[in-house]
Structure 1
């Protein structure tokens, strides 16, 4: 089959116009004219200009993106610093709160101790007052009982003659004195 194609290709003549121009020559001429028109109308410069504009726009966008990235990084650093400051402040607040709580507990213990001491002293004072009152009542009762007993003894053992002797003795003591 390859032989048949060879024979066919050798036997077929390529068409020509004007006796010398083949199809390949016409395509070459058309391409040369097309490229010449493109060069005459400065199409490569236009394309290069459009590409340069596109490159400039992309470069501008890249610079803006870089600036945005730098701004984002600075914001991130700023917020990380704020977060660290907030954490440090929270730790300081926690430490102050712990210290205040310890101080309040110590004050409460001191106040409770003082209150217990005051209440103990008040109880001891009440007990002492009750003891003094009871002792006074006992003394009063004893004095009253002794007075009543003495009055009964005197009434039982002293009569008018004993009274006369006592009065005479008192008068004699006044007269001497």
Structure 2
């Protein structure tokens, strides 16, 4: 009974004093704490707290698993979209390359066509210029010939007029008429 005379707050305040008596005693704080713990665990078991905690943890695990599955499916969908966009980008780049190649080929063909047309135009103009030069040359030659004939006729007229007398002129006229008659018939 000696232990009952010690105030209870001293037992709780001094663990060394609590451990000196018998273990199964209400004066032993270790026993009281052990008993309270067992009662607490018993209440938890009676209320099925571990199964509720397990159910809550399972629900949380299921929720996390569902979130992970959703994240995985979103990731796969994002990868699919990324692959699709990369494929479309490659296709667009290939199409742009084809367009550039076709544009270059068209530009080269147009440039070659323009060069050919310019060459043909220059050839036509040169031919026209040569024809004009030939025509001008022919006209100049004809003009020179006409002048030469005119000068020759004038010179011949002067020479004939100086050397010609009336008898000789009449003989030349008769001879010319006879030549013309022979050529006409």
- Any stretches of 5+ residues in structure 1 without a counterpart? 1-8
For residues 14-61 of structure 1, the C-alpha deviation after alignment (integer angstroms, 9 at most, x for no partner) is 388xx9432222112211211122122222222122212211111111
Structure 2 CA distance for partners of 1:162 and 1:90, relative to 1, 3 Å: same
> 1-side partners of 2:39 and 2:80: how far apart?
58
Query: 21, 28, 49: which is aligned to 1:14?
Result: 21
User: How much is the aligned-residue C-alpha RMSD, in angstroms?
Assistant: 3.2
In the other structure, the counterpart of 1:40 is 46
Q: Which moved more, 1:164-173 or 1:34-43?
A: 164-173
> 2-side partners of 1:140 and 1:99: how far apart?
60
Query: 100, 104, 124: which is aligned to 2:130?
Result: 124
Query: 152, 157, 173: which is aligned to 2:158?
Result: 152
Query: 136, 139, 142: which is aligned to 1:136?
Result: 142
Larger relative contact order (Cα-Cα within 8 Å, sequence gap ≥ 6): 2
Q: Scaled by the length of structure 1, what TM-score is found?
A: 0.77
Q: Does 1:26 align with 2:32?
A: yes
Query: 108, 115, 139: which is aligned to 1:109?
Result: 115
> 2-side partners of 1:151 and 1:110: how far apart?
59
Q: Scaled by the length of structure 2, what TM-score is found?
A: 0.74
CA shift, 1:136, in A, is 0.9
Q: Does 1:76 align with 2:82?
A: yes
- Residues 38 and 44, structure 1, Cα contact 8 Å, conserved in 2: yes
